[in-house]
Structure 1
Amino acid sequence: MLPTILDIATLADGYRSGRFTPIDVIEAVIERRAAWPDKAAWITELADSELRKAAAALVAAGAARADQPLWGIPFAVKDNIDCAGVETTAACPAFGYQPEADAFVVARLKAAGAILVGKTNLDQFATGLNGTRSPYGAPRSVFDARYISGGSSSGSAVVVGSGQVSFALGTDTAGSGRIPAAFNNLVGVKPSRGLLSSTGMVPACRSLDCITVLAGTAGDADLVRRVAEGYDAADVYSRSMKAKPLPTRGLRFGVLAGAEREFYGDTEVEALYDAAIARLEALGGTAVPIDYAPFRECALLLYGGPWVAERLAAIEDFVGEHADAMDPTVRTIVQGANGKTAVDAFRGDYALEAYRQRTDAEWAKMDVLLLPTAPTTYTVEAMQADPITLNSNLGRYTNFVNLLDCSAIAIPAGFRADGIPGGVTLIGPAFVDSALAALADRLHRAESWGMGRDTDAALPAASALAVPTEGLIPIAVVGAHLSGMPLNGQLTTPRGTFIKSCRTSGDYRLYALPNTTPPKPGLIHAPGFGGKGLEVEIWALTPAAFGEFVNNIPAPLGVGKVTLDDGSVVTGFLCEPYAIEGAREITDLGGWRAYIAELKAQAPALQAG
């Protein structure tokens, strides 16, 4: 049975195991697309026969090749990005044209085996953060049709959040790939500028635009980003990845403070933000209050400065001839460029550099910035009654990101009492995309809110992203060094980095060693045992901290190589076989935590006796 949200990891596992095929998935896509009541999410739906033909062709060609990591994965494309043979409208019918070729990124996704399902709705010419500025209708939140879906990548978020496709492409100039993610309980990856080619995309602000990915998990979105990215000589703003790390320990993250904490009266979204701060602290980060004012002031340049002229530059001929065919709000914004001069452009550039200096002073205090994705949300009715002011409110924490050349990833952060989701965004310098995605994945998994409208869905383990561990030595711990256990401080004090929880292979047995304080287990390698594996945690230490840690391990414990359930091998705790004489075997409990819980449950009974 297919999941409600068609996440990539689950589909790929199903294909490998033979539980279903791309033909089965496409049949489900066709059924779901027809059944979903919000018809405004799509502008162009590829015919059912075309989808069936594409799926059948994949299956006939054989199993997925190594160069097809998206084999059989259904996806959608925002309708300001070209797909060969499918009209591109940018949500303006009079502007529509028939492209002969796929956009650079679409071609890469198709080559990787992904199946295009259709083109999605958007705020016209990608001008807006709310999703209501389209003659094709206003897509609605997948949780409540009274509320906006967020924009401008409105339809893209709805078709992923409702389970019609696995992922969708959006675009982001001011937050258009992040706001819709927040309003539909999704992940939105806003790559560093230039990583995803804009060849074949109708520009909004060409020097700032980024193609984005909306998906159910950070792992899925990051996979799509990595498949789609690549240097494109045809795009003058294209850049090759120059990957940069984030600290693997002692991470400092900037947070809002004082008067800069603006939620427009939405105390519930503010509480979701504070809870996200607490979760990131629990993961080992240190919250650092920063002055958000220079970021906020810089953001005003996007619509109040000369960059609005880029929106006119992108469609100047069309506006001159067909202004009456445009959405009135979009037309007002774009025509606001009239009268802007080269002098204004230079002054704007000077102002941007001044803001960059001021924000650099704040970046010196932090490694990443954690912000609300949006301070609140609005009903469609309210947005249409005051489209400029409320849209501006939505962009309070997003508009500066591309101006200052940052990478960003939006993740779910929980729900208000009325069931409307809120989100937070992790923002970093350019080219920390991979490390930022790994951090976002950990934060997303710290308290799962599901994926899209399926709020009970567990995030697939296969989509988890590994924390970068350059220069660190991993070690598997099985007992008193686990998180929350008495000796865990021996890992956290030297700033050890938690990597993941997992299990050993089935060739290990676990014993509760007698006469140890605090209680300790003994892990014994038992080749051929055939068990279910035992709970372990993987941590990573600097070489110096690792050496000191291992030197202090008391007999009969020691370190050796431990095989995990995925077949990988890592250094970990093992026990001398002689020490288990007279010890209780606890292998059947599955791990040390279960044994400690059993002891605690028995304690009241023993005291009563």
Structure 2
Amino acid sequence: MSGFDMTVRGVLAAASPVAAVRAAFARIRAYQAVDPAVWVALVPEHEALAAAEALEAAGPEGKPLYGVPFAVKDNIDTAGLPTTAACPVYAYLPNEDAPVVARLKAAGAILIGRTNMDQFATGLVGTRSPHGAPRCVFDRDYVSGGSSSGSAVAVAAGLVAFALGTDTAGSGRVPAAFNNLVGIKPSKGLLSTRGVVPACASLDCVTVFAHDVADADRVRRVAEGFDPADPWSRVAAPVPLPPHPRMGVLAPADRDVKGDHAAAALYDAAIDRARALGWEIVAFDYRPFQAAAALLYAGPWVAEREAAVGDFIRAHEDACDPTVAGIILGGGGRSARDAFDGLHRLAALKRETEAQWAAMDAMLLPTAPTQYRVAEVEADPVALNANLGLYTNFVNLLDLAAVAVPAGFREGNGLPFGVTLIGPAFSDGALAALGDALHRTVAPDLAPFEGADGTVHLAVVGAHLTGQPLNHQLTGRGAALLRTTRTAPDYRLYALAGTTPAKPGLVRSPGVDGPGLEVEVWALSRAAFGAFTEEVPPPLAIGSVTLADGSRVKGFVCEPAGLEGAEEITHHGGWRAWRVTK
């Protein structure tokens, strides 16, 4: 069990729901000694095993999450287990799963339990719970981030393959950064929030934690869907982003990492890697976004929290976290005029941000400026919590989508650092592709990313390149060009003899330290990819190609027999560069 790959892709590859569930519970028992604050409630093990056995009897057909163990934050309803929002006195027993949970179960995922959180989803630190503070998996002296603390730790510690959180101010992103995870914060309304204890109902989003974008995006696509019974649910066409986007980054004057120089260096490094991917780097003015972020707690939106649970807290204040109670009850004095003043101020700020969006397609920000020790947060719970939301609080107020990805580890203390890609509402799929590409620059051996619509990424090296005679076989099937890049250095390229139109042969030669060959990476639907491969003539074939950043995609390779009479053209660096010499 200890060697079980507790990721979505790992569980699907093992195709054994029973083994996955057994591994999950075995790891949970062992991890309780390390951190007893992760879980609020567990599904009885025999019930989870019975669900796994039923799945195995039925088989995986039509179950894209077949046997995958997952966890749910304690403010999302799961039938048969109390919802408490980390306040035991608040507990109620739901009769049915929240729609997002029901969708995941219908896809074959197996619920393991409910995870700890900052009480009533009020906090970015993960310390405001009567069940204790789940700790960062890399150093238990440090906070794990909140409010979705337990969900992040459960995934990062390998206890489940993915987990659901929620995000109003950054709670699906900050815990991801602090535990070296991917956190997908979907567009508002993309995933139903029915069956979720509201923090700010107009802003709340259900989020996904996983180890990589491929897993997280797969879960997001399963969980999303219009819910007519949810007044906040929305339907909209996906918003595309260019494969080489204009990426907005913080101007030097706006980079506030609270003295965390290692974080500043890692942000600079992330920008450099984004530039190496071919993205245009654009510094933008963060001031209107920061002003919008301040409205979340300094403006009237805190009254929305008070409207949700304020009456309960007043009646049970001795059972509530004092910091949480103080924040939420502080919204009770807001007037209708305050609310309208806030809405008008937000509208004005949103108009100001439009000038910045005119020059960029997406933005790349630190997920959090720094990471604090538990003791530091306990000594100053409000100010340090506010610091962690510096680059997250504006996102839902301005109706944006976000994908948080790991971006390396700090020198000195070894803690992880993360960045977040932020784009327009309903750009979720396109953002996921960009986030995956950036994540691969620090973790090249990730699972293949299929894209938001289940696309396959294909590297072409010759006659299928843009402007070449067979490119129509891609464009005619609706393929989209993602990026131009190079292969890893241990590839050779040959001009094959007797082919019409002229075609190259790509061959991997371990030990060779060449220039890498120019390739284009295209996205095709699975159906289009299947039809495309039927047209590939021998000696060419479709295999796996390793790119310069270490990622692997499908691509053209050549049988050794096809090299007879071929001319090696590796030194030209690519097919087009060789063609201009002819």
- Return the TM-score normalized by structure 2: 0.83
Q: Which residue of 1 aligns with 2:283?
A: 289
Give the superposition deviation at 1:460.
2.3
- What CA distance in whole angstroms lies between the structure 2 residues aligned with 1:281 and 1:39? 42
Matched, 1:39 2:36: yes
Give the superposition deviation at 1:126.
0.1
- Residue by residue over 1:156-178, the C-alpha shift from the partner in whole angstroms, topping out at 9 and shown as x without a partner, is 00000000000000000000000
Give the superposition deviation at 1:53.
1.5
Q: 1:380 to 1:467 in 2, by over 3 A?
A: same
Is this contact kept in 1: 2:184–2:209, CA < 8 A? yes
Give the superposition deviation at 1:259.
2.0
| Partner SS, residue 72 of structure 2 | strand
1:362 to 350, 356, 361: 356
Q: 1:49 to 1:469 in 2, by over 3 A?
A: closer
Residue correspondence of structure 1 range 4-403 to structure 2 within 5 A: 6-15=6-15, 21-36=16-31, 37-61=34-58, 63-66=59-62, 68-249=63-244, 251-403=245-397
Is this contact kept in 2: 1:477–1:538, CA < 8 A? yes
- What CA distance in whole angstroms lies between the structure 2 residues aligned with 1:496 and 1:235? 37
Q: 1:361 to 1:53 in 2, by over 3 A?
A: same
Is this contact kept in 2: 1:510–1:521, CA < 8 A? no
Give the superposition deviation at 1:217.
0.7
- Residue by residue over 1:295-323, the C-alpha shift from the partner in whole angstroms, topping out at 9 and shown as x without a partner, is 01110000000000010111133123112
Is this contact kept in 2: 1:477–1:573, CA < 8 A? no
Give the superposition deviation at 1:510.
7.8
Give the superposition deviation at 1:187.
0.2
Q: 1:467 to 1:8 in 2, by over 3 A?
A: closer
- Residue by residue over 1:21-52, the C-alpha shift from the partner in whole angstroms, topping out at 9 and shown as x without a partner, is 11111111111000011110100012222222
- Residue by residue over 1:208-239, the C-alpha shift from the partner in whole angstroms, topping out at 9 and shown as x without a partner, is 00000000010111111110111111110101
Give the superposition deviation at 1:242.
1.7
Q: Which residue of 1 aligns with 2:528?
A: none
Q: 1:370 to 1:468 in 2, by over 3 A?
A: farther
Is this contact kept in 1: 2:126–2:149, CA < 8 A? yes
Give the superposition deviation at 1:446.
1.4
| Partner SS, residue 564 of structure 1 | strand
Q: Which residue of 2 aligns with 1:564?
A: 542
Q: 1:383 to 1:580 in 2, by over 3 A?
A: same
Residue correspondence of structure 1 range 552-591 to structure 2 within 5 A: 563-565=541-543, 580-581=564-565
Q: 1:321 to 1:275 in 2, by over 3 A?
A: same
1:523 to 501, 505, 508: 505
Q: Read off the aligned partner of 2:311 and give its amino acid letter.
A: D
Q: Which residue of 1 aligns with 2:474?
A: none
Q: 1:541 to 1:178 in 2, by over 3 A?
A: closer
Is this contact kept in 2: 1:414–1:421, CA < 8 A? yes
Is this contact kept in 1: 2:461–2:518, CA < 8 A? yes
Q: 1:474 to 1:448 in 2, by over 3 A?
A: closer
Give the superposition deviation at 1:583.
5.6
Is this contact kept in 2: 1:178–1:410, CA < 8 A? yes
Q: Read off the aligned partner of 2:505 and give its amino acid letter.
A: L
Structure 1 portions without partners, runs of 5+: 16-20, 450-457, 482-494, 504-508, 526-534, 543-558, 587-591, 597-609
Give the superposition deviation at 1:540.
5.4
- Residue by residue over 1:538-588, the C-alpha shift from the partner in whole angstroms, topping out at 9 and shown as x without a partner, is 51589xxxxxxxxxxxxxxxx979541389x9997999x99943868x9xx
- Residue by residue over 1:313-349, the C-alpha shift from the partner in whole angstroms, topping out at 9 and shown as x without a partner, is 1113312311221100000100111210000000000
Structure 2 portions without partners, runs of 5+: 466-479, 508-515, 524-535, 546-552, 575-582
Is this contact kept in 2: 1:312–1:334, CA < 8 A? yes
Q: Which residue of 2 aligns with 1:539?
A: 520
2:446 to 454, 459, 477: 459
Q: Which residue of 2 aligns with 1:404?
A: 398
Equivalent pairs, count = 520
- Residue by residue over 1:111-167, the C-alpha shift from the partner in whole angstroms, topping out at 9 and shown as x without a partner, is 000000000000000000000000000000000110000000000000000000000
Matched, 1:477 2:461: yes
Larger radius of gyration: 1
| Partner SS, residue 316 of structure 2 | helix
- What CA distance in whole angstroms lies between the structure 2 residues aligned with 1:165 and 1:210? 21
Give the superposition deviation at 1:13.
1.8
Is this contact kept in 1: 2:5–2:11, CA < 8 A? no
Is this contact kept in 1: 2:185–2:206, CA < 8 A? yes
Q: 1:357 to 1:319 in 2, by over 3 A?
A: same
Q: Read off the aligned partner of 2:107 and give its amino acid letter.
A: A
Q: 1:565 to 1:302 in 2, by over 3 A?
A: same
Is this contact kept in 1: 2:4–2:23, CA < 8 A? no
- Return the TM-score normalized by structure 1: 0.79
Give the superposition deviation at 1:57.
1.5
Is this contact kept in 1: 2:189–2:232, CA < 8 A? yes
Q: 1:502 to 1:332 in 2, by over 3 A?
A: same
Give the superposition deviation at 1:10.
2.0
Q: Which residue of 2 aligns with 1:445?
A: 440
Q: Percent identity?
A: 52
| Alignment RMSD | 3.5
- What CA distance in whole angstroms lies between the structure 2 residues aligned with 1:514 and 1:105? 52
Q: 1:500 to 1:579 in 2, by over 3 A?
A: closer
- What CA distance in whole angstroms lies between the structure 1 residues aligned with 2:102 and 2:453? 29
- What CA distance in whole angstroms lies between the structure 2 residues aligned with 1:287 and 1:230? 34
Q: 1:65 to 1:109 in 2, by over 3 A?
A: same
Q: 1:510 to 1:241 in 2, by over 3 A?
A: same
Q: Read off the aligned partner of 1:39 and give its amino acid letter.
A: P
| Partner SS, residue 242 of structure 2 | coil
- What CA distance in whole angstroms lies between the structure 1 residues aligned with 2:369 and 2:346? 24
- What CA distance in whole angstroms lies between the structure 1 residues aligned with 2:102 and 2:495? 59
